[in-house]
Amino acid sequence: MKLTIDPDRENDQLYISFARQPLRASIVARTQRVGDDIALDFDGSGRLVGIDIMNASKVVGSALDDFQLDRLLGVKEAAKLARVHASNFVRDYASQPDFPRPVVGLASGRIWLRSQVEQYLSSHKRRARQAS
């Protein structure tokens, strides 16, 4: 499944599509308005394939230029960000009580939001400099 977010700043519109392949207009069989500024697009099987948000800055309460997507990190990626080995990352960072909670814990490991890990690492380095 591929999630695509397509902001149209000129028309203040935001389109979110859910598709196994790039969304084509021909895949949309039915559109259902669920509000003045929100419409849902469905394919021929009744599966949701897109959400169209008109007047997006009003609906979501922020200008489209303010949107930033947050990335997900596993232990290996978070360790690389902290510039330590994965085992040291778990011991020295992820096991600390003030470390951000994982978004989800999977059989393959824990997953965090990159922005939260970056904020923690920045704060942690600042505290270490102040203590010395």
Residues of the chain with CATH 1.10.1660: 72-131
Distance in angstroms (rounded) separating the CA atoms of residues 34 and 24: 22
User: Comparing 130 with 73, which gets the higher pLDDT?
Assistant: 73
Whole-angstrom distance, CA of residue 125 vs CA of residue 102 = 20
pLDDT at residue 98 greater than cutoff 70:
yes
Model confidence at 105: pLDDT above 60: yes
Q: Which has more pLDDT, 92 or 67?
A: 92
pLDDT tens-place string over residues 32-55: 999 999 999 999 999 899 999 999
The CATH number for 72-131, chosen from 1.10.1660, 1.10.490, 1.10.287, 3.90.550, is 1.10.1660
Percentage above 90 pLDDT, the chain = 51
pTM of the model: 0.53
CB atoms under 10 Å from CB of 109, counted, come to 15
**All residues at 6 or more sequence positions from 93 whose CB lies less than 8 Å from its CB, including other chains:** 78, 82, 84, 99, 120, 121, 124
**Which contiguous run of DSSP H or E holds residue 20?**
none
